Amino acid sequence: MSETTAAQSGQPAARRGAAYDSAFLRAARREPVPHTPVWFMRQAGRSLPEYLKVREGIPMLDSCMRPELVKEITLQPVRRHKVDAAIFFSDIVVPLKAVGIDVDIKPGVGPVIADPIRSFADLERLRPLEPADMPYITEAVGLLVDELGSTPLIGFAGAPFTLASYLVEGGPSKSHEKTKAMMYGAPELWAALVDRLADITSMFLKIQIEAGASAVQLFDSWVGALAPEDYRRSVMPASTKVFDAVAGYGVPRIHFGVGTGELLGLLGQAGADVVGVDWRVPLDVAAERVGPGKALQGNLDPAVLFAPTSVVEAKAREVLDAAAAVSDTGHIFNLGHGVMPSMDPDALSRLVAFVQETSAR
Ligand code: CP3
């Protein structure tokens, strides 16, 4: 594949952008760091007044197609919180829209699909994604990388199971009942669906890496709904296909899901370099379950941010200590899931400073 040749042909310098020696990328590679790097999932968004201001009157998915706006929103939390990495402002359903799926993001609800995918005939609507389908992504990443300098930009995509759940249910679901009915009852259709999604997701990540993203995160947000054996048999091959597709670039690959305590061993085998952990499993225990050779990301309970500063700092210190107890594991500090819209942005800024100062070596 032409895209992977530069990274595979002994030209790592081409991929060693200005962010190569940042604390974030060093931790992801499990190299020594000046301090534990910290960023937050959903750090750009409704907790920030400056976000609400620039988004006023612009539907969510429209905003993802305006490169200057994407650049501004991505930079807002970097300026305000001084986090160690930026995450690209977009959404997991953007590539689905780009291949022609009728999807909208309803405020307070989430992604809603007009015609859910339920049959082999429906699968034809999930055609392969091409770079030409999303010139606005390439442009926005390029603008950002120029502006960010030595701060790394994290690209991302939704994992096959999480995307499949929205596509099959038609919208957000707690029980994933139609999704699981397909997985158990129509295994060939299910396998074909997650395989198509793996290809779309791989291309979405490639487009971001080619444009300059220096790490990628696969959001397998709802995979914790599965028993380990079902994950291993019916979902893991598609996620592994995604990690393999971008392996040649040499950029760190992060794998995140919620409620994955029982899946951590399998997530460690799925192919990522960094495993994201929610707040339910302490990082030293998570390291045992994930196995050797992986960095960890996490895992402060987001709800702790609603407690007084002294409590936030004590709980953040517990996270740092648990990570330090497994000294050969790289650690990227994060919340166990995303920033909530009602969080106090100042509490997040204080947490960033606390983590960076307390962990300084
Ligand atoms: O700051 C960042 O993390 C980068 C941007 C980002 C968004 N969505 C922007 C967004 C990222 C990484 C995502 C990923 C995403 N989108 C996930 C996986 C992450 C996770 O939370 O586990 C999922 C499941 C989605 C689907 C989705 N999109 C949901 C559930 C929602 C919330 C709907 C609501 O209103 O409560 C969205 C919309 C969305 N994506 C918003 C943002 C900032 C809010 C929409 C708005 O501001 O109008």
How confident is the model over 238-285, as pLDDT tens digits?
Answer: 999 999 999 999 999 999 999 999 999 999 999 999 999 999 999 999
Region 40-47: mean pLDDT is 96
Helices (H), 211-344: 228-234, 236-245, 264-270, 283-290, 309-324
For residue 127, indicate whether it is catalytic: no
Catalytic annotation present for 280:
no
- Does residue 4 register a pLDDT over 80? no
| CB 87 less than 6 A from any atom of ligand 1 | yes
Q: Can you give the CATH number for the domain in which 152 is found? A: 3.20.20.210
3-state DSSP of 130-177: CHHHCHHHHHHHHHHHHHHCCCCEEEEEECHHHHHHHHHHCCCCCCCH
What is the rounded average pLDDT for all residues in the chain? Answer: 95
DSSP state of 341: T
Q: Residue 328: pLDDT band by 50, 70, 90 thresholds?
A: confident
What contacts 250, CB < 8 A, 6 or more positions away? 7, 12, 15
Q: Is the pLDDT of residue 3 over 70?
A: no
Whether residue 11 has pLDDT greater than 90: no
46 catalytic? Reply is yes
What is the predicted pLDDT for the residue at 236?
A: 98
What residue owns the CA closest to ligand 1's atom 38?
Answer: 110
Residue with CA closest to ligand 1 atom 29: 110
For residue 181, CA distances in Å to 48, 101, 165, 176 come to 39, 22, 11, 8
Neighbouring-strand partners of residue 299: 334
Q: Is the CB of 219 under 6 A from ligand 1?
A: yes
Nearest CA to ligand 1 atom 40: 91
Q: Is 338 in the pocket of ligand 1 (CB under 6 A)?
A: yes
Question: Where in the sequence is the domain holding 244, given as residue range(s)?
Answer: 3-358
The residue type found at 193 is L
- Of these residues, 15, 26, 29, 46, which one is catalytic? 46
- Whole-prediction pTM: 0.95
* pLDDT tens, position by position, 142-201: 999 999 999 999 999 999 999 999 999 999 999 999 999 999 999 999 999 999 999 999
How many structural domains compose the chain?
1
